[in-house]
Each structure stands twice: as structure tokens, then as C-alpha cells.
């Protein structure tokens, strides 16, 4: 058996550093599984152009990767300002609910896109700007502005993100701009939509309804970025098709020392619920400027792999970094090593074991007992694949065949799954034989390898679930 399969998937964020056809091709060839379009700074035109380009390059390489649109959700942002300001410790700064720029008694001011912010904060609260680089303490509140004092100074540019740790922001889950983006994304074949700052299950349901209205079958990923999302984590996992541990904002909204535990707990919960999970942000941050990672970064990536996250996600490293291809190569190296030393095992716990699910587990037991073998599954809607993947059968690739193109790219997110988009024949045995042929052609298997096949067969017009053991000829 070809030992090149990889259980842990790689997501990269598209940006100026990666949007040329040449770099995209290198990334896909290197093994990137999902391409994320971050809509924080993107335009509709860019999104359309990129979706087309990724598809085109994927066709050329012979690997369709999934597109994930990341919409911004309820984010508070500062207004546009002239140039970049240096904020000094002790300096006062007014945050205006309306208007922009005018200063009162020599105090500079900025405005925000959140008119209710005066009600949300109280005296003594700390407002964090630009991922917590700048801290502003609330001195006094007026109906139309908040006077603050700079406690940690630094640079302030335009449209910087504001965090209010522990405060529930009263902005809609989906803004009008998000809706515009989603419409374009739906038209351009997004396989996933990731929603930022999901606070409750209702936010996900709202997005799902909107996708229905847009005629999109895309799956929805809930980005857990603040304390509110964490509080409602179980319900959010149940409502969504997957979760992202958005460590960037989480580390600002929560004390950063809690991040490792939040990550571990979220990954465990998602596996338990049979939903995919993504560990995101700062995995290889130093590689934005350097061709090799720090040792601490390598350990961080390895930790996520040990925890058996479905995917890890690169952000700035690939959108604006100098070494995007090296980043993907680095992740691949760490994955290959860590996955090669984890012994063959699987989860016993996570399933509500219906008869069908017990059968999935039996297939895993059989495959691991035989060793050096994978499981082939045929699916139209992918229902049992998530369950199979959540058993986390190490050393056992899951070859999933489907005749639904969108599903085939969506399956790229799942731990251990190698999806194949194929034609199904009327005769099920012919479909299986063609699929085995494909695995052999692509060198996933060689002669005399065993394969476990999970499929239903027709016996006297009745469909019967079976586990088969086949030897590759
Ligand atoms: P962002 O989300 O990159 O869209 O901010 C991820 C995170 O906060 O970690
Ligand atoms: Mn974020």
C-alpha cells in the first residue's frame, strides 16, 4: 500500500502571496486540501476571479480542492483614519458612535461601526484594538462617545478589529455585507462557508436558511472566537457542519493561557459529535517571514495532530507570507512524522452505536487487524462517512467514492478521508471494480493488498449492507 496518505488535512488562506496560477498550482500539488477566501478585505470581483482560478488550476493538476468562504459576521471595526497613528500610554482617545475624526479639547477620536457600544461597556472596562495590540481603558461614557485612556500603546491604522472580552456584542449574526458575499460565494461554488464570531446555534441556523434561499448546498463551519460561542459550544456543534477553533480572536477574548485547553476540549467534543474540526491561526506565524518554522511552532502543529483535529489552517502565512509553499510542505512533514508513530487504534466512544454504526466500527477493526489496508466506501450523500472518520482509525485510509461532485470536495475536510469523484454503474460490483482499478492506477494500492469494502448489495431485490474483504488483483 502506498504510505503517502495523510489523515490530517491542510487549509490555506488565499491572498496576494498565493493568488497567481503558478503558486496555486504548487500549493495544490504540495497537498493543500481546502482554499479559504477571507472576506474581511475581499471584494466580490476578487472572489469570483479566484474561485474560477482555483477551479482551473485544480483541473490542470487533477485535484479539485474545496473552496471555503470565511464571512466576517458581527465584527466591530474602527473607522478609516489618515495614515497610521502612534498611540502613547496615558494619552486619551475618544471612541465616537457617530461621525469621525473631530477632536474635543485636544483629544483625538476615532469612530466604530457599533452605535450601541456605549451601552455595552462600563467604566474601567478594557477595549482591545487590533488583536489586543492596543489596550484602551474606559474612563467615562457619554451618549455619543466613550472617553478612554491608552493603557498599552502602539500603532493604530484604519479599520482595525475591536474585541470586547466577555461582552455580548449586539450586532446581527449576518450583516448585509456578509449576505452580499454569500450570494457571490454561492454562485461560485463554495463548498463551505465559515461564519465568524458564532455566538449561538441560531446564528448557524440563520446562515443555513440563507444558503437555502441562495440554492447552495454548501456546508457551514462555526468559528468559535469568543466566550459566548464557547458557552454555547455543544448546541453550536450540533447545529453546524463543523467547527473552527479560531485561536487568533479566542486568545484576545479569553485569557490566552486557556487556549490549549479550549482547543483540546473543542477537538474532543467535535470528534464525539462526529463533526469535523479545524485548528486555526498562528500555526507557522514566523514563516510569514522565514523559510523555516520555530521549534515551538512545530510542536504546536504536532499537538493538533495528536489531538486528531480534522484539519489545520494557515492564515497570514499563505495569504501574505513570503514562503507559502514551504508552509504547506512543513505541515506535511510534521503530519507524516507524527502520524507514522501513532499506533493503529481507533475511538471506541464517540458513536451512538446503531446497528449500522457498529458495522462501521467492525470494518475498522477488521482493517486494523489485517494491517496495511484501507476501507472503501460508496456514498451519494456522505451520511455515514463523518461517523466513520470520527472513529479516527489510525493507519487506515478511508477511500470514499461518490458521484456527487460537491460532496467529493466537501469530504476533503474530513480526517482520514481520500475522496474520489466517480461515475456509479448500475451493477454495483462493476462500480467497486472500477474503483479498485482507480486506486491501483493512482498507486494507493498494489497487487495482493487487501481492501475492506463497505457497500450494500442487491439480493433478491433487497438492499443488504455488507463488509467485504477483497484482494487487489
Ligand atoms: P480570522 O479568524 O482570521 O478571520 O480573524 C481566525 C481567528 O480569529 O483565529
Ligand atoms: Mn477571527
Domain annotation covers residue 392: yes
Query: Which pLDDT score is estimated for 351?
Result: 56
Give catalytic status of residue 6 as yes or no: no
Domain final position from 138, 163, 188: 163
Q: Do 80 and 224 reside in the same domain of the chain?
A: no
Query: Which pLDDT score is estimated for 354?
Result: 75
Q: Do 370 and 451 reside in the same domain of the chain?
A: yes
Cell of 126: 478594557
H-helix or E-strand containing 71? strand 66-71
What's the per-residue H, E or C state across 362-390? HHHHHHHHHCCCEEEEEECCCHHHHHHHH
Ligand 1 atom, smallest distance to 245 CA: 9
Query: Which pLDDT score is estimated for 100?
Result: 59
Domain annotation covers residue 1: no
Q: Do 242 and 194 reside in the same domain of the chain?
A: yes
For residue 220, the domain's CATH number is: 3.20.20.60
Q: Is 141 in the pocket of ligand 1 (CB under 6 A)?
A: no
Task: Report CA(196)–ligand 2 centroid distance (Å).
Answer: 6
Q: Is 281 in the pocket of ligand 1 (CB under 6 A)?
A: yes
Give the total number of structural domains in the chain: 3
Task: Report CA(464)–ligand 1 centroid distance (Å).
Answer: 45
What's the per-residue H, E or C state across 207-232? HHHHHHHCCCCCEEEEEECCHHHHHC
Q: Are strands 161-163 and 34-38 parallel, antiparallel or unpaired?
A: unpaired
Query: Which pLDDT score is estimated for 348?
Result: 79
Q: Do 111 and 259 reside in the same domain of the chain?
A: no
Give catalytic status of residue 281 as yes or no: yes
Nearest CA to ligand 1 atom 6: 246
Q: Which range marks the domain in which residue 204 is found?
A: 9-74+173-339
Instruction: Give per-residue pLDDT as tens, 377-427.
Output: 999 999 899 999 999 999 999 999 999 999 999 999 999 999 999 999 999
Query: Which pLDDT score is estimated for 99?
Result: 67
Instruction: Give per-residue pLDDT as tens, 51-102.
Output: 999 999 999 999 999 999 999 999 899 999 999 999 999 999 999 987 655 6
- 207-225 in b/e form (b: 16+ CB < 10 A) is bbebbeebebebbbbbbbb
Could you say which of 72, 199, 208, 223 is catalytic?
223
Q: Is 248 in the pocket of ligand 1 (CB under 6 A)?
A: yes
Domain final position from 116, 143, 163: 163
Query: Which pLDDT score is estimated for 102?
Result: 63
Q: Do 251 and 372 reside in the same domain of the chain?
A: no
Question: pTM score > 0.75 for this model?
Answer: yes
Name the residue among 81, 79, 155 with its Cα closest to residue 113: 79
Q: What is the phi/psi pair of residue 75, to 5°? A: -105, 135
Q: Which residues of the chain have pLDDT under 50?
A: none
Q: Do 192 and 222 reside in the same domain of the chain?
A: yes
Q: Which residues contact 280 (CB under 8 A, 6 or more apart)?
A: 11, 223, 244, 245, 246, 247, 248, 312, 313, 315
Query: Which pLDDT score is estimated for 67?
Result: 98
Q: Do 193 and 277 reside in the same domain of the chain?
A: yes
Task: Report CA(325)–ligand 2 centroid distance (Å).
Answer: 23
Ligand 1 atom, smallest distance to 70 CA: 4
CA distances from 155 to 84, 88, 279 (A): 6, 9, 29
Could you say which of 29, 55, 77, 179 is catalytic?
77
Report d(CA 400, CA 384) in Å as an integer.
11
Q: Is 315 in the pocket of ligand 1 (CB under 6 A)?
A: yes
Q: Do 379 and 255 reside in the same domain of the chain?
A: no
What mean pLDDT value characterizes the chain? 94
For residue 445, the domain's CATH number is: 3.40.1380.20
Query: Which pLDDT score is estimated for 143?
Result: 85
Q: Do 211 and 334 reside in the same domain of the chain?
A: yes
Instruction: Give yes or no for a contact between 97 and 121, defined as CB atoms under 8 angstroms apart.
Output: no
Beta-carbon-side half-sphere exposure of residue 426 (alpha carbons within 13 Å): 0
Amino acid at each position: 500500500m502506498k504510505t503517502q496518505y495523510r489523515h490530517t488535512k491542510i487549509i490555506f488562506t488565499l491572498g496576494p502571496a498565493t493568488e497567481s496560477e503558478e503558486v496555486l498550482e504548487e500549493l495544490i500539488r504540495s497537498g493543500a486540501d481546502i482554499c479559504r477566501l477571507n472576506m474581511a478585505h475581499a471584494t466580490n470581483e476578487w472572489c469570483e476571479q479566484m474561485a474560477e482560478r482555483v477551479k482551473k488550476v485544480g483541473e490542470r493538476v487533477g485535484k479539485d480542492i474545496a473552496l471555503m468562504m470565511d464571512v466576517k459576521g458581527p465584527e466591530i471595526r474602527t473607522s478609516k483614519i489618515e495614515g497610521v497613528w502612534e498611540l502613547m500610554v496615558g494619552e486619551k482617545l475618544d471612541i465616537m458612535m457617530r461621525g469621525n475624526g473631530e477632536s474635543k479639547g485636544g483629544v483625538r477620536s476615532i469612530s466604530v461601526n457599533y452605535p450601541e457600544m456605549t451601552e455595552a461597556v462600563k467604566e474601567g472596562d478594557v477595549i482591545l484594538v487590533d488583536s489586543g495590540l492596543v489596550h484602551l481603558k474606559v474612563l467615562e461614557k457619554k451618549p455619543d462617545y466613550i472617553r478612554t485612556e491608552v493603557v498599552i500603546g502602539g500603532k493604530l491604522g484604519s479599520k482595525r478589529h475591536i474585541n470586547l472580552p466577555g461582552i455580548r456584542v449586539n450586532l446581527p449574526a449576518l450583516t448585509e455585507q456578509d449576505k452580499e458575499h454569500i450570494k457571490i460565494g454561492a454562485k461560485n461554488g463554495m463548498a463551505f462557508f465559515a461564519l465568524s464570531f458564532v455566538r449561538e446555534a441560531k446564528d448557524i441556523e440563520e446562515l443555513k436558511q440563507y444558503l437555502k434561499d441562495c440554492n447552495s448546498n454548501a456546508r457551514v463551519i462555526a468559528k468559535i472566537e469568543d466566550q459566548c460561542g464557547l458557552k454555547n459550544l455543544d448546541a453550536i456543534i450540533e447545529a453546524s457542519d463543523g467547527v473552527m477553533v479560531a485561536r487568533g480572536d479566542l486568545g484576545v477574548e479569553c485569557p490566552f493561557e486557556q487556549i490549549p485547553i479550549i482547543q483540546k476540549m473543542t477537538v474532543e467534543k467535535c470528534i464525539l459529535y462526529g463533526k469535523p474540526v479545524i485548528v486555526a491561526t498562528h500555526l507557522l506565524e514566523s514563516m510569514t517571514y522565514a523559510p523555516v518554522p520555530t521549534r515551538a511552532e512545530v510542536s504546536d502543529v504536532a499537538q493538533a495532530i495528536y489531538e486528531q483535529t480534522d484539519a489545520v489552517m494557515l492564515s497570514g502565512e499563505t495569504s501574505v507570507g513570503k514562503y507559502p509553499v514551504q508552509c504547506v510542505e512543513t505541515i506535511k512533514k510534521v503530519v507524516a512524522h507524527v502520524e507514522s508513530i501513532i499506533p493503529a487504534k481507533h475511538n471506541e466512544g464517540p458513536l451512538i452505536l446503531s446497528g449500522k454504526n457498529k458495522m462501521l466500527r467492525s470494518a475498522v477493526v477488521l482493517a486494523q487487524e489485517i494491517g496495511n489496508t484501507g476501507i472503501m466506501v460508496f456514498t451519494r450523500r456522505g451520511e455515514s462517512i463523518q461517523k466513520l472518520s470520527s472513529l479516527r482509525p489510525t493507519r487506515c485510509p478511508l477511500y470514499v467514492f461518490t458521484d456527487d461532485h460537491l460532496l467529493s470536495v466537501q469530504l476533503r475536510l474530513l480526517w482520514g478521508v481520500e475522496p474520489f469523484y466517480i461515475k456509479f454503474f448500475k451493477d454495483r460490483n462493476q462500480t467497486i471494480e472500477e474503483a479498485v482499478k482507480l486506486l491501483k492506477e493512482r498507486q494507493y494500492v498494489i497487487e495482493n493488498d487487501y481492501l475492506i469494502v463497505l457497500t450494500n448489495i442487491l439480493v433478491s431485490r433487497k438492499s443488504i449492507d455488507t463488509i467485504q474483504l477483497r484482494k487487489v488483483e
